[in-house]
Structure formats: C-alpha cells, structure tokens
Amino acid sequence: MTSTFDTTTTTITAADDRRRWIALVVVCMAMLMNVLDTSIVNVALPAIQKDLGFTQANLAWVIDGYLITFGSFLLMAGRFGDLIGRKRVFLAGVAIFTVASALCALADTQGLLIAARFLQGFGGAVSSSVIIALIITEFPRPDERAKAMSAYILVSVGGGSAGLLLGGVLTEALNWHWIFAINLPIGVATILLGRRLLVADSGAGLGGGVDVLGSVLVTAALMTGIYAIIKVPEHGWGSLHTIGIGAVAIALMAGFFVLESRIANPIMPLRIFRVPGLLWSSAMRGCITAGMYSVFFLSALYLEHVRGFGPVDTGLAFLPMTLAVSGMSAGVTSRLIGRFGARRLVPGGMVFVIAALLLLANAGTDTPYAPSMLIAFLLMGLGISTALLPLLTIAMENVPGVDAGLGSGIVNVSSQISAALGLAIFGTIAANHTRALRGDGQPLNEALTNGYQVAYVVAAVLVSVGLLFVLIKLHLERRRRLAESAEPVAA
C-alpha cells in the first residue's frame, strides 16, 4: 500500500517556511470566496428579484445552480488534482470562479445570472477540492498541520456568517452586483500569488488513461442527488419528483461503484474506503455541518421574519459565532489536539453544538437577543471549532499521499451533501409545523417561531445520535488498543 504522508521533521529554510505560510493565506483566500458565495447571495435575493424580474420559482436557481455544481464536481476535481497536479487544478478553478463572478456582476438578464452561477459553482468545486490536499502536503508536521487546518476551518465556518453581513452591507450601501464584483480583486490576487508561492506537483500522471465514464457517472449521480435534495421543500419527500430523481441518483452511483471495481484505472480507487478514520469522521463532520447550517438558515429566518432584523443586523447577530471560531483557530484548538489528541476533543465539541441548538429551540417571539441567543451562537462557534478540526485531522491522517485530492474531495462532498440534506429536512419540518399551527388559528409570528423550535430540536437529536456513535466508536478503539497491548504480555 502506498505510504501515507511523511510526518517526520524535515529541514526547512526560513524563506521556504515564510513561503508556505503565505501560500496558506492564498488558498484560504480562494476558500473564502467559495464559502462567501454560499451565503452572501441570500440577503440580496429580494433586490435581485426586483431588478431582474424573477419569479419565486426561478429565483431559487440563483442559489440552487451554485450548490448543484459545487457539490457535484468535488470528487472528480479532487481526483484530477491527484493525477495532473493540485496546483494546476487549484489555479484553474480560481480562474473559472473569477470569470464567473465577473459574469454574475455584469448580468442584466435572468438567464445570464443563472448560467454564471452554475459556472461559479463549478469553479468553486475545482479550486476547493484540492485545498485540504495542498495544506497537508505543505505542512507535514502534525503540530504545524493543526495550525494550518485551524485557519482553513476559520475561513470555512466564519465565511458563512461573514457572507450574511457583507451581503447586507453591499446590497444596502451599493447594489447587488457588488456582492459578485468583490470576488474579482481577490480572485486575481489569488491567481498571481498562487502561481508564485504554491509548489508545483506533477501528479501521478495520466499514463493509465482517464476514467471518463466513471467521471461522468459520479458527477451525474451527485448532481441528480443534490438536485433532488434541495428541491424537497418545493415538492415534498414523498413526491414522485423526489423519489424518482433520488432513485436515478442511487442507480447512477451504484453503476459507478460497479465500474470502479472492474477497471484498472478508476477515477476513484476503492482502496480509499479502507483508509482508517476517513469515512466515519467524514460522516460525523457531515452531521455537525447539518446542525451548523440549520443555525445559519433557521436563525436568519427567525431574526428577519419574527424579530424584524434587517440584513446588516442579521449579519451582526452571527458575529459571536465567527469570533468564537476565530479565537479557537488562533492556536487554541491546535494546542488542545497536541495535548489531548484529536479523538478526545470531538465529543466535547459535539456537546457544545447540542447545547447551542437547544438554547435556540427555547427562543420565543419576544426573547431578547442577549443573553440566550448570544450564548447560543458563542457555544456553536466553540463547538464546531472543537469538533470539526479534530475530525478533519482524523479523516486525513492515514490517507495515502497519492490519494490526498480524492480524500479531500470525500471530506468536502460529505459536508456539502449533509448541508443540503440538513437544510431540506429542517426547512421542511419548520414549514410543515408552521403551516399546521396556522391552520389551527395561531398567529403568524408564534407559528413561525414554533416551527423553528421544532426544527432546532430535531437538529439537536441528529447531533446527539452522532455523539453517541462517536462515543461507541472511541470506546471500541480503546478496547482494541488495550487488547493489542495485552497480547505481548500474555505471550
């Protein structure tokens, strides 16, 4: 089996050390653009609808187009990074994303904006698919890697809440076109600095040929599956639309795995699924991500529709979460990992997330923002900081170097699908409960609040199930280690 990443201490010159930390900033700049564009558009939707004359149904494609292509091309792009070079794939993705952002900023028709959002999602997938692989290649030492990954987590999480605030400021102060135009200088700077600072790698090469059919199958499976999920609030879980398209996605994915098991040069070597820790930690990251996105989605709706917050005030309300993540990412989480180990931190982080969700579930129609919601957002920031970085460390610590891009893609896909599932599930639960209460004559604000509360409780239950799984998994691992250490004594 191919050896995993070399974690031994190597001699690094001061100049090279400075280069790779600046290179970390460069890849995080690209990640920031990708994350911003999953949330920054939300607060500008009313202005976009008014300006371009969107119907409510067509307006959804401004969000959905980005999410579908972003989630669908992660695996394929990550694997191509392993084959043809991660730097090359990263820069190509940033270039596509930047061009698409310019098209979005210039869009004066519905069709152009939607098409540009599809292209923007594709560019975001291509660049972000290899970011984790680039980081762990540049930082082989566990202590340095933990610090670098902390910066990645900060951008991944903080970018979501920053997008809400920035989108509100730009839309109110200027116009919605600027939420896309702001990407242009960042994208150009990322390309120029990336070409200079990122170390070029040739990749494993294409000598064995390219698995074109496998690439098409996995991308089509993810695309149809994500489309089915994000359209659940519109059609319902039991509708022919959801079941039919979901069945097509499952059939395509099944065909993909059959193909990969039979060909010599698969786009996804099935050995990746035997890597210890990759699958279960990715699943737990997905569980927490679903809970986190429920907070972004439901809390934004609650603050705007029930409490009457404007776009800027709503963005500011999420600031404690971002500050908590920033504080933990400034070296606290990496030091905790070095002292206690990644596995011991995960349960505590998940407990913080559950507590935050339960606090939000108690917010009523006139509950003041401080202290309850403020504390909830702080706890959510502490929880995701304490859990996501250790889980990312566990996921990638045993991935062979030749498969780093694919491993990165699997981690990212699990988060994207979980986020889409979480939004569909919690949004449907909240909407159905609100609709039932309205039918019983309850006032709108109370019905909306009760709907959000039920959805928060379901999210807390989901993360609690994940916590139970983690505790059982860690207990079994501990028993196995004790048994292995006792074998020589018994002999």
Bond from prior residue into 371 cis (ω within 30 degrees of 0): yes
Q: 463: which 2 tokens?
A: 């993360």
The most distant pair of C-alpha atoms in the chain lies apart, rounded to whole Å, by 78
Range in 9-18, 134-143, 264-273 with the lowest mean pLDDT: 9-18
Structure pTM?
Answer: 0.82
CA dihedral 472, 425, 420, 270 (to 10 degrees): 40
> Over the stretch 307-318, which tens digit does the pLDDT of each residue have?
888 777 887 888
Exposure b/e, 171-209, CB count within 10 A at least 16 = b: beeeebbbbbbbbeebbeebbebbeebbeebebbeeeee
Q: Is the dihedral of CA 435, 441, 444, 449 positive or negative?
A: negative
**In sequence order, which residues have a C-beta less than 8 Å from that of residue 186 and are 6 or more positions away?**
29, 32, 33
Assess whether pLDDT exceeds 60 at residue 491.
Answer: no
The CA-to-CA distance between both ends of the chain, in Å, stands at 29
**In sequence order, which residues have a C-beta less than 8 Å from that of residue 69 and are 6 or more positions away?**
118, 119, 120, 121, 122, 125, 223
Tell me the pLDDT of the chain averaged across its residues: 85
Q: 466 and 350 in contact (C-beta within 8 Å)?
A: yes
The residue with tokens 């909306």 is 448
Give pLDDT, residue 490.
Answer: 58
Q: Is the dihedral of CA 131, 132, 137, 138 positive or negative?
A: positive
Q: pLDDT category, 489, cuts 50, 70, 90?
A: low
Give pLDDT, residue 207.
Answer: 61
* 68, burial (CB in 10 Å: exposed 0-12, middle 13-18, buried 19+): buried
Give pLDDT, residue 87.
Answer: 92
